[in-house]
A and B are shown apart, each in its own frame.
Chain A
């Protein structure tokens, strides 16, 4: 079997991957706790859902495949509770958030696995600066052609996901003035960006073969695109999100992606257009830098709006599809947040203003992730 054979999966089944920060509980810096934490977690029923990542101060939670938002949320909460319980035994904490607020990248250590060492060898300090924390959302597609179409359609909405998930205003102890600084670490990689403007799975496959024959890539894993097809899973993988500060938000983002996907694959309202990619980096930068207040140029109409309003309008449009998939509660979480002008990034900045100490920001950020009672959508 070829790795580029697209494995068909049920339409709009979904799965979530969350990269988490592993922290000590003294000054809340990143700590090399992942190996010990993973050892304890390997004795729990969730062992297959929790994995090592590139750095020893990072773990990844993977959900199972779900069709409904509430089931996904239930599982993510159970996972969070288990991780929190095991952290207690080790005097560790975990937190969401796209970057660690004050960690110095030079202190980072790479996880002891061959692939991670290769990355470190190839990318030098970029591999260590790549210690940022993202959420990936997988959306099931029946065919490769559907996946290619969906990638092009969702590319228009990349700024939405940046704004909604943004949780990384700080880097190396400084306020970056960005809504999300995490993506700046990813932009440096030669194979970041977006998928080329191909029209079908066959075309995409031919592109991949060319790249592979020229030695540019070895596998699909080497493309660090914001959104890419994942033939092995039969999904489209949205990779642009910061890990939010709560699992509730993470589930809501997945519900939004699911409703969007359902809308596009059902209505097919647009022909794919390369115009999306002409404006892609402009819109993306606006979202990264200014959040909901950023400017967005609609590639299909040329109209300017602020990203917040565009999100609200889109939520409105796809709400019937969310209802059909029983994910409307998730979309409401996001809607309320935009209406109230809240976001994880704002919460982090506000916390720093209040506490005056960046260590305390990370401490409270960890508390927010680990506390089961955190009500959904309360990010202000």
Chain B
């Protein structure tokens, strides 16, 4: 060893642990300050800090940073999707079939209007389809954080969570299926076009199922009163996230399916009352910072008219879908309108879906990203505020 080699080289690079810590602190300092205002959600603070640190601000968080943090972001989305999967209660659908109908109607209408609008603007059908499929999903992260922060509970909150979970399943699977067409469109062999989506979708579902079965079995080995169950569930969630990315499955599908199987297979209520979402919130906060950082006026302009029209058409479809079915369902008309509004936000999951496609075919991905990111940029400040407003107006938050 030479003289003074023990000193760190300059400019030194933050490792992922330090980065995570700094962003976490920054997020909650800003989030807390914004939250004190009384009418802005904490999430807005996270996003603002991201914008400040991102490439349209101080440029501390660049693409390399985001790549480094990707495993943590997977954890954030994985945990929240696992929680949402558990809200997809098929028993409820059987007792209120209109809830299932409203979910399907709102998914199809949202897809159809967004697809039609993009076609009308002259976008190629495959691109329009892919964007519209991503648009079926609604941000689970936004709803999750705001519902927790405001202690929201009631029919609007429960139904919104159910719809967002179901939307996620439909969106993720549709996007994966469209991959087949994308492969063919880009001149890939048929074998690849067929096997890749199959690998992702079937693999994720099998992994989710196996994770759920083993979690239930492992939880059964411990006593209900101990804290072990929480640790086992959290550990299995992390394991599933890790395996999904190692095996090139979809983390989103795997964890969502994992949650759905837990909810619908847990006949002995072994993990029904285990709350892993509490820990997920920490990771989610950083996800919001990153999402804020990756957006700028530039992305907003790049998405342009297409992003704006796409956003409006998607929302119109979802809103209409909910309102059409509401007279038959257990939710009143007024609350249904607020429910439609809660389905507006798009965020982390949409970004991840667009990124995954863009990684396969960068050229195709560029336009797709522009539209989806543009939509996320449009909604990332407005969306959470409207979600909180809707929950408050429906009198389901604690402060109301």
Contact = CB atoms under 8 A, between A and B. Distances in A.
B269 A363 contact: yes
A359 interface: yes
B298 interface: no
B155 to A, nearest CB: 4
A32 interface: yes
Contact of A33 (B154, B223, B395): B154
Contacts of A86: 330
B356 interface: no
A218 to B, nearest CB: 28
Interface stretch (B54-62, B88-96, B141-149, B380-388): B88-96
Contacts of B366: none
Interface string A4-41: 00000000000000000000111110011101100110
A109 B398 contact: yes
A363 B223 CA distance: 18
Contacts of A89: 95-96, 330
A105 to B, nearest CB: 14
B332 interface: yes
Nearest to B332: A39
B273 A32 contact: no
Most A C-beta atoms less than 10 A away, residue of B89, B91, B224, B273: B273
Given A89-B330, A91-B158, A363-B269, A357 B224 contact: yes
Interface string A334-370: 0000000000000000000001110110010000000
Interface in A43-100: 86, 88-91
A359 B269 CA distance: 9
Interface residues of B, number: 24
B96 A32 contact: no
A18 to B, nearest CB: 23
Contacts of B273: 26-28, 357, 359
Contact of A40 (B91, B272, B330, B395): B330
B322 to A, nearest CB: 16
Interface in B118-163: 151, 153-155, 158
A103 to B, nearest CB: 13
Nearest to A27: B273
Contacts of B395: 35, 112
A90 B269 contact: no
A367 to B, nearest CB: 11
Nearest to A39: B332
B103 to A, nearest CB: 14
Nearest to A85: B95
A90 B331 CA distance: 8
A339 to B, nearest CB: 33
A33 B224 contact: no
A31 B269 contact: no
A32 B154 contact: yes
Contact of B272 (A27, A91, A107): A27
Contacts of B155: 33, 36, 90
B225 interface: yes
Contact of B153 (A24, A90, A356, A357): A24
B272 A32 contact: no
Contacts of A25: 89, 92
A32 B153 contact: yes
A325 to B, nearest CB: 39
Given A32-B154, A36-B154, A89-B330, A356 B92 contact: no
A57 to B, nearest CB: 10
A49 B89 CA distance: 30
Contacts of B331: 36
Contact of A90 (B91, B96, B398): B96
Contacts of A36: 154-155, 330-332, 335
Nearest to A57: B153
B355 interface: no
Given A40-B330, A89-B330, A357 B96 contact: no
A233 to B, nearest CB: 33
Interface string A107-139: 101001000000000000000000000000000
A356 B223 contact: yes
A183 B330 CA distance: 35
B125 to A, nearest CB: 39
Contacts of A35: 154, 395
A22 B151 CA distance: 17
A36 B91 CA distance: 19
Nearest to A33: B154
A112 B223 CA distance: 41
A91 B92 contact: yes
Nearest to B97: A89
A43 to B, nearest CB: 10
B218 to A, nearest CB: 17
A252 to B, nearest CB: 30
Contacts of B96: 88-91
Interface in B271-323: 272-273
A219 to B, nearest CB: 29
Given A39-B332, A90-B330, A109-B398, A356 B224 contact: yes
A24 B87 CA distance: 12
A139 to B, nearest CB: 37
Residue with the highest number of chain B CB atoms closer than 10 Å, among A31, A90, A355, A359: A90
B400 to A, nearest CB: 9
A363 B267 CA distance: 12
Interface string B223-259: 1110000000000000000000000000000000000
Contacts of B398: 107, 109
17 contacts: A28-B273, A33-B154, A35-B154, A36-B331, A36-B332, A39-B332, A86-B330, A88-B96, A89-B96, A90-B155, A91-B95, A107-B398, A355-B224, A359-B269, A359-B272, A359-B273, A363-B269
**7 A-B pairs closest in CB distance:** A88-B95, A357-B224, A89-B330, A91-B92, A89-B96, A356-B224, A27-B273
Interface of B: 86, 89, 91-92, 95-96, 151, 153-155, 158, 223-225, 269, 272-273, 330-332, 335, 395-396, 398
Given A26-B273, A357-B273, 14 more contacts: A25-B89, A27-B273, A31-B154, A32-B153, A36-B154, A36-B332, A36-B335, A89-B330, A91-B92, A91-B95, A107-B151, A357-B269, A359-B272, A360-B224
